[in-house]
Amino acid sequence: MPSKQRLIRFLVVGILTLMPLSAPAEEPVRIGTWKTPQTIQPLFYHRFLPQTMKSRVLTFTNPADQKTALLAGSLDICGTTLAHAIYSASVGQPVVVVSALCNKCSALVVKKDGPIHSEKDLAGKTIGYVPGTMHEILLRETLTRNGIAPNTGVTLIRVDFFDMGTALAGGSIDAFLSGEPFPSLAANQGYGRILSYPYYADSVGTINAGMLVRRATIENHPERVAQLVLAHARATRFLNAHPDAWLRKASGFGTRMEVLTAAVPNIELAWEMDDAFIRKAKALGNRMQALGMIQRQPDYDRLFDLSFVAQARERLQ
């Protein structure tokens, strides 16, 4: 009998030795965004996520790289321009927009003492832009409305957001259409002048960017997406209610407070989506196809999932 008891104790100890001392910690959700004042909300998610849900924010310089990381499984959610989301869905990529991120934020900038005094003066000039962004759509729309063929009447050059000012000041481009705070920075530093804010109420209005997930994430982890969208909504509301906290954090990206203050009227942090938002997104898709940027329209009912915003709206009442 004693030998049997010793055997049992030996087996129990062996089993306990092989067991982990504690359950492995859940992997943090991985969030992608840009370091700009209008895409700042993900940096505040940790304040509003459940304590059991850890997060890690990775920053990028453009929406295409974020989307690539998302599809590769390196991110769980990321920022995107609506233009890039529409393009991605139009070529069959399994992405879903689950909330808005920001509206407005765009401006067309030219050299302060240069020869461009109206949008028609852009003909024959070299213009910097980031492909796949709302800025590209607005730039092509502006050129087209002024009788300038985007593909032949100007030279369009890809320039990352953070290099726009250097390119304009150095003379490698004559103008750029970009997001804040770079237009306000160009004006503040004296080498640039804001020519226009090219929002067209008869087409896409001021919609700009949203938060993107893989379709598989919604199917396999809907509760995770719901918590992320709720955190996004709460972060947006917090920053809109506390502009000092918003701009103080944004100034940590290297932009002076006076520049950020000048940019604020052209920035709108957002999270809500509704039927009017979808109508504008469809108008955006139609403009993209007319401009030759996509070959066919995506399925907007699959591209946009408003259910998580609706859940967040109920929780916040």
What is the C-alpha separation between 256 and 30, in angstroms, rounded?
Answer: 29
Quote the pLDDT of residue 21.
38
- The amino acid present at 118, given as its one-letter code, is S
Q: Say yes or no: 78 and 116 in one domain.
A: no
Q: Say yes or no: 59 and 95 in one domain.
A: yes
Residue among 153, 154, 200, 158 at smallest CA distance from 178? 158
Q: Say yes or no: 40 and 178 in one domain.
A: no
Q: Which among 173, 196, 219 is the end of a domain?
A: 196
Q: Say yes or no: 218 and 158 in one domain.
A: no
Counted domains in the chain: 2
Q: Say yes or no: 182 and 65 in one domain.
A: no
Residue among 33, 39, 85 at smallest CA distance from 288? 85
Name the percent of the chain in helix, strand, coil, to the closest 5: 50, 20, 30
In a domain? residue 6: no
Q: How does pLDDT run across 4-15, given as a tens digit for each residue?
A: 444 444 443 344
Q: How does pLDDT run across 203-219, given as a tens digit for each residue?
A: 899 999 999 999 999 99
Q: Say yes or no: 88 and 127 in one domain.
A: no
What is the C-alpha separation between 31 and 58, in angstroms, rounded?
Answer: 6
Yes or no: say if 199 and 97 are a contact pair by the CB < 8 Å rule.
no
What is the domain-level CATH number for residue 171?
Answer: 3.40.190.10
- Enter the pTM of the model: 0.84
Quote the pLDDT of residue 95.
99
Q: Say yes or no: 155 and 279 in one domain.
A: no
Which backbone phi and psi does 146 adopt, to 5 degrees? -105, 15
Print the domain residue range for 172. 106-196
The overall longest dimension of the chain from CA atoms, in Å, is: 101
Q: Are strands 175-179 and 106-111 parallel, antiparallel or unpaired?
A: antiparallel
In a domain? residue 19: no
Q: Which among 165, 196, 227 is the end of a domain?
A: 196
What is the C-alpha separation between 95 and 85, in angstroms, rounded?
Answer: 7
